[in-house]
Structure 1
Amino acid sequence: MARTREFDTEAAVSRAMELFWTHGYEATSVRDLTRHLGVGQGSLYAAFGDKDGLYRATLEHYRSTFAEAALRTLDEGADARSAVRALLVERIRIAVEHGGRGCLLVNAATERLPEDQPTRRIVRDVLDANQEALADLLSAAAERGEISTRHAPHTLAAFLITFLNGLLVSSKITPDGRALEPLVEVALIALD
């Protein structure tokens, strides 16, 4: 009787995330995954069910690392404009790394939706959480008089998330932070 190889699933998810992020879901085969992770196919399936299960696990890992770090950036800003600028510039920096691999969640949305409903839920949850955090920040900033009240905070937050998603797609085409960062200043005009 063959013994299932034990491995660190958290480390495997992190390594698989890098592979999916660099090559995408479709271009990453199970063979690529087993080779990159150094595990057998049976162990991979026992831990995650299938390639889709591992992919969803990588999206959840991305959510709990990169997406949560982005929300912490909002809490660390001295004022709303600085916090939003820092968030957007940091997302550009991450997206242009490694030759412009973009954002794993935006990549998932463009590659896997609308057919893959579990992926849609994960992406939607992260976008909703980001938008809600931005709306809270902008609402408080409007009350303090830091930003204009011309637009509702939820509308501004939705605009900024939409802008960021477009910027992250653009980062795959033009993986140059110096070319993309000036666009952030244009988007920040919406806060005036």
Structure 2
Amino acid sequence: MARTKEFDPDAALQAALELFWRRGYEATSMADLVEHLGIGRASIYATFGNKHELYLKALDRYNESHDLTLLRELSQPGPALPVVRAVVRRFAAEASREGRRDKGCFVTNTAVELGAFDAAAAGRVEVSWSHVETLLHSALARAHAQGELSADRDPRALARMLLALMQGLRVVGKTSGDPGRVQDAAEQALRLLD
């Protein structure tokens, strides 16, 4: 007879996500996970696989929740350009907000820490960034069609620029003690939408 799990796998995955997000992959040991999740090593392996598999599952969860938020924001009916501006400003505000700066963005953190040598992690980062780019492109194409965006502006190129900017804001915001650096960069980039 199989034993029932004595912990909530969903809560454990969320706890792992928080730990990996705050500390990173390399700085989080299995012992840290056992302590933080409050479950045994064997239960972690049986439920999630090894540390790497658990990390990827945590990254998938993060992407799902954050992608839905962005989808809701950028898919609103009506004028699209104000929504795009609000999203970029939200990214800048989050990047420089106390309490959030130490964590940054889990996807950006993964790209910086693992992207160059971990194909599975890099693949998930690319999927996330492609999704963000597509959402931005869609909103900017709508803005273009509605006459909010100048006819000489390329919605795809602007979406790519904003994606790179937003990810850069996360890196700079995490490491800089000057919130003005992030805010000024965002505002200068948004002038390209005029």
Instruction: Return the TM-score normalized by structure 1.
Output: 0.90
Shift of 1:133: 1.0
1:24 offset after TM fit, Å? 0.8
Letter of the aligned partner of 2:37 in structure 1? L
Bigger mean CA offset, 14-23 vs 72-81: 72-81
Contact 2:12 2:37 in 1 (8 A): yes
**2:133 is the alignment partner of 1:138:** no
2:88 corresponds in structure 1 to 88
Q: Is the 1:4–1:42 contact (alpha carbons within 8 Å) kept by the matching residues of 2?
A: no
Quote the RMSD (CA, aligned, Å).
Answer: 2.2
CA distance, structure 1, for counterparts of residue 40 and residue 4 of structure 2: 9
Aligned to 1:186: 188
Q: Which has the higher helix share?
A: 1
Per the alignment, residue 39 of structure 1 pairs with 39
Contact kept in structure 1, 2:115 and 2:121, CA below 8 Å: yes
In the alignment, residue 98 of structure 1 is paired with which amino acid? Answer: G
Name the counterpart of 1:163: 165
8 Å CA contact 1:81, 1:188 repeated in 2: no
Letter in 2 for 1:116: D
Q: Which residue of 1 aligns with 2:149?
A: 147
CA pair 129-115 structure 1, distance change in 2 beyond 3 A: same
User: How far apart are residue 9 of structure 1 and its match?
Assistant: 1.4
Does residue 111 in structure 1 map to residue 145 in structure 2? no
Deviates more, 1:27-36 or 1:72-81: 72-81
Q: Deviations over 1:68-95 (max 9, x none)?
A: 2122121247533321122122223444
SS at match of 2:99: helix
Secondary structure (helix, strand or coil) at the match of 1:98 reads coil
Task: Indicate the percent of aligned positions where both proteins have the same amino acid.
Answer: 37
How far did 1:180 drift? 2.2
TM-score norm. by structure 2 comes to: 0.90
Structure 2 matches for 1:53-72, cutoff 5 A? 53-72=53-72
Q: What is the letter of the counterpart of residue 148 of structure 1? A: S
Residues 94 and 100, structure 2, Cα contact 8 Å, conserved in 1:
no
**What is the Cα deviation at residue 98 of structure 1?**
2.2
C-alpha distance in structure 2 between counterparts of 1:150 and 1:158, whole Å: 16
Tell me which residue corresponds to 2:22.
22
